[in-house]
Copies of this chain bind each other. A is one copy, B any other.
Amino acid sequence: MATPIDPTSTAFLLAENRQMPMHVGGLQLFEKPEGAGKNYTREMFEQMRDVEEIRPLYLKHPHRSIRTGGQLVWKDDDQFDIEHHLRHSALPSPGRVRELLELCGRLHSTRLAWERPLWETHVIEGLKDGRVAMYSKLHHALVDGVSAMRLLQSVLSTDPDERGMPAPWGANAGSGRSRKPKQEFTLSEVPMTALRGALGLTAEAAGMPAAFIKTLTKSVRNETSALSLYAPRTIFNQKITGSRRFAAQDWPVERLRAIGKASGTTLNDVVLAMCSGAVRTYLEELDALPDSPLVAMVPVGLNAKQSDSASDKGGNAVGAVMCQLATDRDDPEDRLTSIHRSMKDGKDALESMTPAQILAMSALGQAPAILTPMLRMQGIIRPPYNLIISNVPGPRTTHYWNGAKMVGTYPLSIPINGMALNITCTSYDGKMAFGLTGCRRTVPHLQRLLTHLDDEVAALEKAAGV
């Protein structure tokens, strides 16, 4: 059975090439339950493999032939082989987090072949601390990064004693949700339909880039505006290669919240200030810090009134604020204050936009991977912004998969040509996790950013007097 592929998904498929694989990823860390035998990882793998039925999302692959009139359609894989998609892997010694991040970077570099369903999950053993890791990737044509993480979370439970939980691709994976609504999610659970609806707008925009850009830029040509598409050149804004490096770490939300409280800023402002300080130090070390401040594209949720405008399904509309990162300033406190103001300006400006502008800005927030290249095609020669920093709230309490405690969850995103670094943050169980995905060649020594982030937390604490 072949079904049409919606225009947005088609755009993600066609935007893909060797330099720009279009899949999102996630890395999760689990602690084995008490009494787990030494074959625990294998058993976990087998339990995930031996599902009775696969959800349609995990069965379909893009197909194009003369019979489809050259159009891309979804087709079920009639030779579906779960062992191609789910793999039991191991880390080389010494099995540190370093080896794990290297493996994730490598796995994230390889494109998903269109001839099979567009996902892969690796259950990974060999961490010397005994934890089990899981790296997953899914094509952006199937889900966006937020939904990908929710797909996993939808099969988790807050009950450490619950068993019989399916893999995310198990046909019964949704069933647990009705028993146990997870009201904790800030956005509702796996809002696939809603998100697809909103993404449909992107497709519309993709169909008429000139009109779209015109709408988007009419009010944002003012360079100092928080919606401005105008940023200095940096090493991040070059052509990229297909090689990826991944770095990840988390910090207690309490530490970041205390900084925000003491300085009158939000948690998200603190996250952005951490990124700002870390990127500043990183570029300084490379003698590549521009004089003007870097600009981050920051997706933000739109409120109910706006989201009505942005999506007739009333889903989770996401807009985009261009945040001036104040990387030209020396003082951490100064940067934080400045970022706070820039974000506030941006949100105010979003509120004052016309419905058409919100629509366009929302499309950009949801699908930068396909829309950003268009900005450049439309005559915006300087980079419209320097990097993307997303912060997506996740569950606040401890979750388990069949008794295995999830102790960390980190997002991997999509660098694109001209945007070689992506920082995505997600909170879980009292920790703020940073996932940094970059082109390995364009962004050298990516992992140094982790040290800089850590230093920046300390500097902000000192500045805020906490």
- The residues of A with any CB-CB pair to B shorter than 8 Å are 17-19, 38-39, 41-42, 79, 81, 83-84, 87-94, 106, 109-111, 113, 115-116, 125-126, 241-243, 440-441
Residues in B whose Cβ lies below 8 Å from that of A88: 92
Asked if A116 meets B18 with Cβ closer than 8 Å, knowing A90-B91, A93-B38, the reply is yes
For the complex of A and B, the 4 pairs showing the least CB-CB separation, nearest first, are A90-B90, A18-B115, A90-B92, A79-B241
Instruction: Decide: A93 and B92 in contact? CB cutoff 8 A.
Output: no
Q: Can you give 8 contacting A-B residue pairs, CB < 8 Å?
A: A18-B79, A41-B92, A42-B93, A79-B241, A81-B241, A89-B89, A113-B113, A126-B126
* Bound complex: CA A91 to CA B441 (Å): 29
On chain B, the residues within 8 Å of A115 by CB distance are: 17-18, 111
Q: Which residues of B contact A91 (CB under 8 A)?
A: 90
CB <8 Å contact, B116 and A79? no
Distance in angstroms from A41 CB to nearest chain B CB is 7
Known pairs A88-B92, A110-B113, A113-B113 / 15 extra A-B pairs, C-beta < 8 Å: A17-B115, A18-B115, A19-B79, A39-B93, A79-B241, A79-B243, A81-B109, A81-B241, A81-B441, A84-B106, A84-B110, A89-B89, A89-B90, A111-B115, A126-B126
CB distance from A98 to the nearest CB of B (A): 12
B113 touches A83 (CB 8 A): no
**Residues from chain B with Cβ under 8 Å of A441 in the complex:** 79, 81
Residues on the B chain within 8 Å of A89, using CB: 89-90, 92
Partner of A243, one of B17, B83, B106: B83
Given the contacts A87-B106, A113-B111, A113-B113, A242 and B79 also touching, CB distance less than 8 Å: yes
CA distance in complex: A111, B115 (Å): 10
CB-CB < 8 A to A116: which residues of B?
Answer: 18
Query: Cβ of A92 and Cβ of B241 under 8 Å apart?
Result: no
Q: B243 touching A90 by the CB < 8 A rule? A: no
Complex contacts, A243 vs chain B, CB 8 Å: 79, 81, 83-84
Task: Please indicate the chain B residues that have their CB under 8 angstroms from the CB of A39 in the complex.
Answer: 93-94
Contact of A93 among B79, B90, B93 (CB under 8 A): B90
Query: Within the assembled complex, what's the spacing in Å between the Cα atoms of A115 and B89?
Result: 25
A278 to B440, CA, bound (A): 50
Of the listed residues A18, A92, A113, the one surrounded by the most CB atoms of chain B closer than 10 A to its CB is A92
Q: In the assembled complex, how far is the CB of residue A78 from the closest CB belonging to chain B, in whole angstroms? A: 10
A93 to B84, CA, bound (A): 20
| Neighbour of A106 across the interface among B17, B41, B83, B241, CB < 8 A | B83
On chain B, the residues within 8 Å of A17 by CB distance are 115
Complex alpha-carbon distance, A270 and B353, angstroms? 83
A241 contacts across to B, CB distance below 8 A: 79, 81
Instruction: Verify A109–B84 contact, CB threshold 8 A.
Output: yes
Complex formed: what's the CA distance from A134 to B93 in Å? 16
Knowing A83-B106, A111-B113 touch, does A93 contact B125 (C-beta < 8 A)? yes
Asked if A81 and B125 make an inter-chain contact with CB atoms under 8 angstroms apart, the answer reads no
Q: What is the CA–CA distance of A113 and B79 in the complex, to the nearest angstrom? A: 20
Residues on B with C-beta less than 8 A from A87 are 106
Cα A421 to Cα B38 with chains together (Å)? 35
**Which residues of chain B come closer than 8 Å to A41, judged between CB atoms?**
92-93
| Chain B nearest CB, measured from A135 CB (Å) | 14
List the B residue with the shortest CB-CB distance to A240.
B79
How far in angstroms is the closest Cβ of chain B from A300?
35
A84–B94 CA distance with the chains assembled, in angstroms: 21
Q: Which residue of B lies closest to A239 (CB)?
A: B79
Question: In this complex, what residue of B is CB-closest to A116?
Answer: B18
**Which of the listed residues A38, A83, A90 has the most CB atoms from chain B within 10 Å of its own CB?**
A90
The answer to whether A92 and B42 have CB atoms under 8 Å apart is yes
Q: Min CB distance, A31 to chain B, in Å?
A: 18
Most buried by B among A19, A93, A109, A113: A93
Name the B residues within 8 Å of A42 (CB-CB). 92-93
Contacts of A79 in B (CB 8 A): 18-19, 241-243, 441
